[in-house]
Amino acid sequence: MNDNAWIRTVALKPPSLQDNTADADRLVEALKPELETSRIDIELSLLRQLPRLLRRWNYHVRCVSVRDAGRWRLLDVIGLSESRPIAGLAVDLGTSRVALRLIDLVDGKTLGEGAFDNPQLSVGADILARIHHCEGKGGLERLNRLIIDGINRHLAGLCRSVNLDPRDVFLIAAAGNTAMTHLLLGLNPRWIIREPYIPVVNRPGLLAAGDLGLEAHERARILVFPNIGSYFGGDLIAGILYAGMHAARETAILVDVGTNAEVVLGNANWLIACAGAAGPALEGGVTRMGMMAGPGVIDRVQIVSGDGRLRIHTIADQAPIGICGSGLIDLAAQLFLGGMVDIRGKLVPDACGHRLKQIDGIDNFVVVPASESAGGTDLAISQADLDSLIRSKAAMYTILETITSTVGVSLNGLDPFYVAGTFGSFIDPASAITIGMLPDLPLDRYRSIGNSSLGGAAMALTQADGLDRIDAIRQRITYLELNVNQDFMNRFSAAKFLPHTDLNRFASVKLAAG
Amino acid sequence: MNDNAWIRTVALKPPSLQDNTADADRLVEALKPELETSRIDIELSLLRQLPRLLRRWNYHVRCVSVRDAGRWRLLDVIGLSESRPIAGLAVDLGTSRVALRLIDLVDGKTLGEGAFDNPQLSVGADILARIHHCEGKGGLERLNRLIIDGINRHLAGLCRSVNLDPRDVFLIAAAGNTAMTHLLLGLNPRWIIREPYIPVVNRPGLLAAGDLGLEAHERARILVFPNIGSYFGGDLIAGILYAGMHAARETAILVDVGTNAEVVLGNANWLIACAGAAGPALEGGVTRMGMMAGPGVIDRVQIVSGDGRLRIHTIADQAPIGICGSGLIDLAAQLFLGGMVDIRGKLVPDACGHRLKQIDGIDNFVVVPASESAGGTDLAISQADLDSLIRSKAAMYTILETITSTVGVSLNGLDPFYVAGTFGSFIDPASAITIGMLPDLPLDRYRSIGNSSLGGAAMALTQADGLDRIDAIRQRITYLELNVNQDFMNRFSAAKFLPHTDLNRFASVKLAAG
């Protein structure tokens, strides 16, 4: 029966004629020194239950409270004999996938985890389509209901699976990009995408979960991660918290790659961030065979040296149906190392041999012949797909080069180099280096940290000063607007080669064709 | 377009690419220096409207906020061209009558006033009966609904009469005794009347009016006056605030007389309070002809010197139907001065003459003969009624003597002497002195301050630091438990004479019978 950030056990002196302080005030006075605060609020709904609860448990109770800018809010009092967990819920509000993690607020342990496709996909695949949908009558309300209902449904299911009740969830922490955060809160995202790109709120803070329609404990609070602007959201701030960059002496870098490449560079003294369009090639959906990771999707590609045959790996080892970002990077790296793609990213007919096919007048490289694919048709990537990948990787590298040079840090000096996101966790850094997407660092400096947004949200659940830390991180970040000027274009042009025009930067990349 | 405690006009710098702070954060940053605070909260329901409101009024708005323990809460933003008043509502939650006063929060002026019988009277005339009613199933909810619905209904009517909408009411301040406050908040009063007499809460603070079911502005807050214990409620604290005793150099006294006599003594340095049963005689309802003030009720009685005839005055000059507390005190004083009642409070048959009648073996004094009364029957007070009045006046005087002697202040040194309450405003101090209910002070020291509970509540509406002041008053008060010991009983016995056994204390009272 340990106490932690939010939980305190107090034994009150029962009322007497000598001390006839009211129930609520008696409890508050006993809690104040425990929570080291001068102010504790109790909501009316709890006040109404308090006399019964205190007497039922003989004035000896566990108090669940949350901290909000210096003052505390008492959420509930619970008998010592009650055995139900006091739970928290971390939410990563992805545009495509939403991830949930239930944790025990006492010991921070994970009680259960789950993820589901963002139900807003039914309205629009990308965030822009959803924002436009909000212009229509009832559009915002519809998108808001979809995400709230989705979380409620999956939270209920997750709770059931671990023998909990959603009412055991006292605190929720949610991190998402700025637009997703708006849709969660029912805030109009209209102005996010229009110059000068203004969110409704940067720091939503701690809200009543019930006000959002979330079904948890009746007085549950939700900590909504702040954003820095329309293009740098709470998911990134959660990532920084999770990676611990804001508290580290070394200068580290955190890269979250999706449709946007979001990059944070810094240490305990400073943090600089930028975001730029990295192109859609990395997320799947653009190459004809590209797709999100899932069963049957090719995520690893290797050329067996000697005969030039491809060894592919699919998720869940099922018959191949397409390729995801990490597979595409592997493939491009292998083709380049095997001489089947040249330094400009073009397919080399002689080297590709029978794997080269012309479709609609465009060169295609057959990754999986029709006979071996799940759908019975060739799985191929076209020269256009490769061009798109190369633009994406060039954008990524250029962003990294720009942000580091802006603060005078050498790309090669970065340690550690955090790669975040589901996608990041599948990338093979060696392949990414081979095509010049990531800098040529010793591989052990790359740390794949998975869903850092979810990780940061979970972390905030167990820290009494979580919101303060998060606000402090937010305050510390300098946001670098990426000006697409001549410098940027020059860097981008150089980065459009494999791995780069300046081969000295990629000494580890050994070309087969020399 | 003046600003005041709660209202600030701000002209924001509109968003630009150079300053793309979110709408909410832009507004908060502009308001912080205005309100001299580091923390302003905005509720989700307002966040949802904010982008539209700010753009509609071109970032130039009036902000209505309330202060709650150092932090502020923004309730609404309003265009400068909007002409509706920004209103507040003061509520005196009387056990019998509820009084409402609408005020303009900008200039503090009264917009309208009203009062209504407490709808809980249908359940129980006194607070004890209501508390017992709460033991039954649904009893608390019923009493809570009665008072909430009553306020909503009368607020709506009051608003209509002054061309307002309840949604124009942003702040409510309510003061009542501890039990009434509990019933307003839906808190179980069960433990208030059971040893050791524990309220649910001493300091309810600032709550969302909507959480109570009050129909005002959707984000209106209600400031609920704190209590000191089960027998010293927020109405008294409001009275102290209204009288200004907590800020005055002179030692003043405040007396609120009802079924309970509630007394506060003190100055800017200290405050001491006590409450005791003064007996029901003073409030009407106990003497057979006694009643609450109302049309036809005798409120003034005078004996025309010489012929001993009574000159009576009734409220609204209607035919007499009964007598209220102030009339009874006048009557007793006149009978005593005319020799028709002796020093022990007994009717003197020889002096009363034909006005004396025996009813059920008890002496009765006919105030209005059947021929002149509204009901066609004699209006008489019995010896038992007089005895009851004398016990009440003796209790009152004893309480005054006890509290002053406890702190070593002379009864005769009190200045000013505030008499509060509807009842207080009708008492003729000269009559009250004559019967020895109030001390023999120069009459100009008596200040009838009317409904000081309502006055204090109205005052709190226009002071940004109202809740802090109120809490400071509460902190400062020492509550004196009235021990009914030998000292008290000796004082009480001496005070049961007219005006007192010690005539030196009442030098101004000139007896006709010498």
- The strand ranges marked E within A53-117 are 60-68, 71-79, 87-93, 97-104, 110-117
Which of A469-473, A482-486, B143-147, B400-404 shows the lowest mean pLDDT across its residues?
A: A482-486
Q: What pLDDT sits at residue A513? A: 47
Task: Determine the distance in angstroms separating the CA of B203 from the nearest CA of chain A, rounded to an integer.
Answer: 7
Judged against a pLDDT cut of 60, whether residue A93 lies above it is answered with yes
B43 in A contact zone (CB under 8 Å): yes
Tokens matching residue A380: 């191929």
Tokens matching residue B193: 């009347």
User: With left for phi above 0 and alpha for psi between -120 and 50, is residue A436 left, alpha or beta?
Assistant: left
Q: What pLDDT sits at residue A481? A: 82
Judged against a pLDDT cut of 90, whether residue A46 lies above it is answered with yes
Contacts of B73 (CB under 8 A, 6+ apart): B40, B41, B42, B43, B65, B66, B67, B221
- Residue B276: C-alpha distances to residues B95, B181, B484 (Å): 17, 19, 10
B222 in A contact zone (CB under 8 Å): no
Judged against a pLDDT cut of 90, whether residue B485 lies above it is answered with no
Estimate to the nearest angstrom the gap between the alpha carbon of A338 and the chain centroid.
34
Top-ranked range on mean pLDDT: pick from A182-186, A368-372, B392-396: A182-186
The closest of B314, B282, B284 to B296, measured between CA atoms, is B314
- Residue B279: C-alpha distances to residues A58, A442, B282, B388 (Å): 37, 91, 7, 7
Least CB–CB distance from B47: residue in A23, A185, A190: A185
User: In chain B, positions 124-153, which contact chain A (CB-CB < 8 Å)?
Assistant: none
Average pLDDT over residues A159-166: 97
Judged against a pLDDT cut of 50, whether residue A285 lies above it is answered with no
Judged against a pLDDT cut of 60, whether residue A119 lies above it is answered with yes
B186 in A contact zone (CB under 8 Å): yes
Average pLDDT over residues B162-168: 97
Query: Residue A117 and residue A125: Cα distance in Å, rounded?
Result: 11
Q: What pLDDT sits at residue A126? A: 87
Average pLDDT over residues B366-394: 91
The closest of B144, B150, B176 to B258, measured between CA atoms, is B176
Which of A303-317, A446-460, B395-409 shows the lowest mean pLDDT across its residues?
A: A303-317
A514 in B contact zone (CB under 8 Å): no
Contacts of B96 (CB under 8 A, 6+ apart): B117, B118, B121, B125, B292
Estimate to the nearest angstrom the gap between the alpha carbon of B427 and the chain centroid.
16
Least CB–CB distance from B200: residue in A23, A43, A227: A23
Q: Which chain B residue's Cα is nearest to A196?
A: B17
Q: What pLDDT sits at residue B286? A: 43
Q: What pLDDT sits at residue B83? A: 86
Mean pLDDT over the full length of chain B: 91
pLDDT digits (tens, 9 = 90+) for A173-207: 999 999 999 999 999 999 999 999 999 999 999 99
How many C-beta neighbours within 10 Å does residue A83 have? Answer: 7
Q: Which chain B residue's Cα is nearest to A197?
A: B20
Q: What pLDDT sits at residue A297? A: 87
Length of chain A: 514
Judged against a pLDDT cut of 80, whether residue B37 lies above it is answered with yes
Give the best residue of B16, B27, B44 to mutate against chain A (max A CB count within 10 A). Answer: B44
Q: What pLDDT sits at residue A275? A: 84
Query: What is the pLDDT confidence band of residue B86, given thresholds at 50, 70 and 90?
Result: very high
- CB-based burial label for A304 (10 Å; 0-12, 13-18, 19+): exposed
Q: What pLDDT sits at residue A279? A: 55
Q: Which chain A residue's Cα is nearest to B188?
A: A48
Q: Using a CB-CB distance cutoff of 8 angstroms, which residues of chain B are in contact with residue A188?
A: 48, 51-52
pLDDT digits (tens, 9 = 90+) for B294-329: 788 888 998 876 667 889 999 889 989 988 888 889
Q: What pLDDT sits at residue A267? A: 95
Scored b (16 or more CB within 10 A) or e, B312-350 reads bebbeeeebbbbbbbbbbbbbbbbbbbbbbeeebebbee
Query: Residue A366 and residue A352: Cα distance in Å, rounded?
Result: 9
**The complex's ipTM?**
0.90
Task: Determine the distance in angstroms separating the CA of A210 from the nearest CA of chain B, rounded to an integer.
Answer: 11
A vs B: CB pairs below 8 A: 132
Predicted model pTM: 0.91
Q: Using a CB-CB distance cutoff of 8 angstroms, which residues of chain A are in contact with residue B15?
A: 196, 198
CB contact under 8 Å between A196 and B22, yes or no, is no
Least CB–CB distance from B185: residue in A47, A196, A207: A47
Average pLDDT over residues A77-93: 95
Q: Using a CB-CB distance cutoff of 8 angstroms, which residues of chain A are in contact with residue B141?
A: none
Q: Which amino acid is at B490?
A: N
Judged against a pLDDT cut of 60, whether residue B288 lies above it is answered with no
Q: What pLDDT sits at residue A287? A: 52
B21 in A contact zone (CB under 8 Å): yes
Mean pLDDT over the full length of chain A: 91
Judged against a pLDDT cut of 50, whether residue B284 lies above it is answered with no
Q: What pLDDT sits at residue A286? A: 43
